[in-house]
């Protein structure tokens, strides 16, 4: 399903192979996306999220978006009428999924034979549960400047690249001062903060693919496994090992 920019129906359950992509599309209704197993990269015009099974993404009606699976992924999606959601869901956002919310979404997507009244009540329960569960927005914004995009391309090609901003600037023909200013203006964060988010995005993808901590640390440019574990703990509140034990659906 890669019908760029078109309105397409929402399938309640999609099983995606590693790196399988669903191209740019949009829906007439609001959509709640939940990776019940594996990890999803969710792309919108303004940037990209990496979404593990402990989270979901709310996509307002008419918003173009795309997905890419990291590891074997089971994606659940629920479509809502445009008049059913409150104003707190007027923008794309990542939401924390409580156990109750997971079960409600699973029920809605598992059982196509639900009575209309039961389905309507359960959809309202989901909307009520979504209120106030916005998760930390580990979001990499799209960067309009061509020089920043060149820096991103270099690091996407090799996330282990540990060159400084001075060295990266020399590679793309821009000064450190210029790139620093552009990161603050266009990403809303410093280069160091952006790189930290970038590394954690790639770390989650590699965790979903089943790689070990030592391998992930090196592949994402951390100075050591302990540096990776520390950065992961600072962001997620637990070590990578604890995270996997807490979220077994991340293992594929």
107, 130, 153 — which closes off a domain? 130
Domain with 44 in it: what CATH number? 2.60.120.10
What domain range includes position 97? 6-130
What's the angle, vertex CA 151, arms to CA 147 and CA 153, rounded to 5? 110
Instruction: Yes or no: say if 25 and 36 are a contact pair by the CB < 8 Å rule.
Output: no
Q: Is residue 153, in this structure, part of any structural domain at all?
A: yes
Q: Is residue 245, in this structure, part of any structural domain at all?
A: yes
130, 162, 195 — which closes off a domain? 130
One domain for residues 117 and 204? no
Q: Is residue 138, in this structure, part of any structural domain at all?
A: no
One domain for residues 147 and 225? yes
One domain for residues 178 and 72? no
One domain for residues 175 and 225? yes
One domain for residues 166 and 93? no
Instruction: State the 10-residue block means of pLDDT for the chain, 252 residues long.
Output: 48 91 93 92 94 91 94 92 72 89 92 84 90 75 96 96 97 97 96 96 89 95 96 89 77 55
Q: Is residue 1, in this structure, part of any structural domain at all?
A: no
Helix (H) or strand (E) holding 241: helix 240-246
Q: Is residue 205, in this structure, part of any structural domain at all?
A: yes
Predicted local confidence at residue 140, as pLDDT: 93
Place of tokens 């924390």: 96
One domain for residues 92 and 197? no
Provide the whole-model pTM.
0.84
Q: Is residue 121, in this structure, part of any structural domain at all?
A: yes
The pairing of strands 30-44 and 65-80 is antiparallel
**Three-state DSSP class for 159?**
coil
- SS3 annotation, 10-52: CCCEEEECCCCEEEEEECCCEEEEEEEEEEEEEEECCEEEEEC
Q: Is residue 112, in this structure, part of any structural domain at all?
A: yes
One domain for residues 103 and 158? no
Predicted local confidence at residue 249, as pLDDT: 66
Going from the C-alpha of 95 to that of each of 47, 65, 92, 124, 138, the distances in angstroms are 16, 16, 10, 16, 11
CA distance 140 to 135: 15
Q: Which two tokens stand for residue 142?
A: 């799209």
Q: Is residue 23, in this structure, part of any structural domain at all?
A: yes
Predicted local confidence at residue 243, as pLDDT: 84
Predicted local confidence at residue 3, as pLDDT: 42
One domain for residues 110 and 155? no
One domain for residues 118 and 36? yes
One domain for residues 66 and 167? no
Closest CA to 67 of 117, 129, 18: 18
Domain with 171 in it: what CATH number? 1.10.10.60
CA distance 204 to 236: 11
98, 130, 162 — which closes off a domain? 130
Predicted local confidence at residue 1, as pLDDT: 34
- The number of folded domains in the chain is 2
**Three-state DSSP class for 88?**
helix
One domain for residues 12 and 124? yes
One domain for residues 16 and 124? yes
Predicted local confidence at residue 250, as pLDDT: 65
Q: Per this entry, what is the length of the chain?
A: 252
């Amino acid at each position: 399903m890669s019908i760029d920019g078109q309105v397409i129906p929402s399938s309640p359950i999609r099983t995606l192979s590693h790196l399988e992509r669903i191209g740019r599309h949009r829906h007439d209704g609001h959509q709640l996306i939940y990776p019940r197993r594996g990890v999803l990269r969710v792309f919108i015009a303004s940037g990209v999220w990496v979404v593990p099974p402990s989270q979901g993404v709310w996509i307002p009606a008419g918003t173009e978006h795309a997905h890419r699976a990291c590891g074997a992924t089971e994606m659940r999606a629920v479509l809502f009428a445009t008049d059913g959601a409150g104003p707190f869901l007027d923008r794309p956002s990542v939401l924390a999924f409580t156990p109750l919310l997971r079960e409600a979404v699973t029920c809605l997507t598992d059982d196509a034979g639900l009575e209309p009244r039961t389905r309507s009540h359960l959809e309202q329960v989901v909307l009520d549960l979504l209120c106030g569960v916005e998760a930390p927005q580990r979001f990499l914004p799209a960067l309009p400047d061509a020089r920043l995009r060149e820096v991103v391309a270099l690091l996407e090609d090799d996330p282990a690249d540990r060159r400084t901003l001075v060295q990266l600037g020399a590679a793309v023909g821009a000064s450190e001062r210029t790139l620093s200013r552009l990161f603050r203006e266009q990403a809303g964060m410093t280069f160091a903060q952006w790189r930290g988010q970038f590394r954690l995005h790639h770390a989650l993808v590699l965790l979903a693919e089943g790689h070990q901590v030592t391998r992930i640390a090196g592949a994402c440019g951390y100075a050591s496994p302990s540096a990776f574990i520390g950065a992961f703990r600072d962001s997620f509140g637990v070590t990578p090992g604890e995270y996997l034990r807490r979220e077994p659906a991340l293992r594929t």
